[in-house]
Amino acid sequence: MRIGELHQATGVNIETIRYYEKEGLLAAAARSANGYRNYNAAHLERLSFIRHCRALEMPLAEIKQMLDFVAHPEADCGDINRLIDEQLTRVRVRLRSMHALEKQLSQLRAQCGKSHTAAECGILHELVVAAQGEA
């Protein structure tokens, strides 16, 4: 399977696939006589795993660790739990801050119901005042 086919099969960009290979997440593919990469089913499986973990917004370094666990079935899975827990914590912290942010932005947006000049803009006024309150 050439790189374009692997892209079609997984939805991962060609350049990203090369990047993952360079970063050591994917094993280097065998090469055809013309220098083209030749991927096999194991690559497909591994890239899908990587892509799925990325969809969970896990950092590449941690995905590498997960892949190590896949490669070592005798390893203790406490560390897998820890990685997922850490990611879950990051996501929850992030969620809270995004909620607060949405609230702030909504309140800010409500300061200006009609179009008029910047001088009269409740949004700008609020931003300036808030900045002064913090200065």
Partner DNA sequence: AGTGACCCTATAGTGACTACAGAGTCAACA
Partner DNA sequence: TGTTGACTCTGTAGTCACTATAGGGTCACT
In the region spanning residues 4 to 43, those forming contacts with a second copy, defined by CB under 8 A, are 9-10
Number of residues in contact with DNA under rule CB under 7 A: 22
Please report how close the Cβ of residue 67 comes to DNA at its closest, in angstroms: 13
- When binding is defined by CB under 7 A, the residue of 9, 10, 13, 84 that contacts DNA is 13
Residue with tokens 């001088």: 119
Per CB under 7 A, does 14 bind DNA? yes
Residues 37/3, Cβ–Cβ less than 8 Å: yes
Which residues on adjacent β-strands are paired with residue 37? Answer: 31
Residue closest to 6 by CA, chosen among 30, 23, 24, 98: 30
DSSP H or E segment with residue 125: helix 122-134
Q: 30 has which bridge partners?
A: 38
Chain-centroid distance of CA 135 in Å reads 34
In angstroms, the CA 80 to CA 66 distance is 7
Tell which positions 40-79 bind DNA, by CB under 7 A. 54, 59-61
**Taking CB within 5 to 8 Å according to partner kind, which of DNA, a second copy, none is near residue 26?**
none
Which residues lie near a second copy (CB under 8 A)? 9-10, 44-45, 48-49, 51-53, 56-57, 66, 69-70, 72-78, 80-81, 84-85, 87-88, 91-92, 94-95, 98-99, 101-102, 104-106, 108-109, 112, 115-121, 123-124, 127-128, 130-132, 134-135
